[in-house]
Structures are given as structure tokens and as C-alpha cells.
């Protein structure tokens, strides 16, 4: 069981054993290509797609935008 402020689940389906251990997370972001993945029911933000592509693009955006702009 974990209780981080931010938990990013990349490609995690949301099996009961996994979700029971992350319920105490303050914010859960789920990235999964399966729109029916159970993890989305628990997530505060769900991103539908391939985690590698989404994370690659997120990194590009973070590198382009100055912090606090």
C-alpha cells in the first residue's frame, strides 16, 4: 500500500490487487490504451493512448514551456 501525492499508472489495467494498494494516493493519473480498463474508475485523470507516446509528448511540452510562465 502506498500513499503518494501523485501516482501515475502507465499501462496498468487496474487489477484489484493493484488498485487496493494505491487507493490512498492523493491524485491518480492513468494512461492506458484500453478505454475499458478498470484503472480509469479510480483515476482522477485518465489519458487514453499508448503511455510511451503520451509521456514522450508530455516531456516535450514540459521542456518547451518555462516553469511559472
User: Which domains are present in the chain?
Assistant: 6-64 (3.40.50.1220)
Give the residue with greater pLDDT, 15 vs 61: 61
Going along 1-69, which residue ranges are E strands? 6-10, 27-32, 45-48
Predicted local confidence at residue 12, as pLDDT: 83
- What span, in angstroms and rounded, lies between the C-alpha atoms of 60 and 65? 9
Pair 44, 6: CB distance under 8 Å: no
What percent of the chain shows pLDDT beyond 90?
59
Assign 68 a pLDDT band (cuts: 50, 70, 90).
low
**pTM (two decimals):** 0.79
Amino acid at each position: 500500500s502506498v500513499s503518494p501525492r501523485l501516482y501515475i499508472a502507465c499501462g496498468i489495467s487496474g487489477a484489484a490487487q493493484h488498485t487496493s494498494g494505491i487507493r490512498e494516493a492523493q491524485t491518480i493519473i492513468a494512461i492506458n490504451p484500453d478505454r475499458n480498463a478498470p484503472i480509469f474508475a479510480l483515476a482522477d485523470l485518465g489519458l487514453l493512448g499508448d503511455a510511451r507516446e503520451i509521456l514522450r509528448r508530455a516531456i516535450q511540452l514540459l521542456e518547451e514551456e518555462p516553469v511559472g510562465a
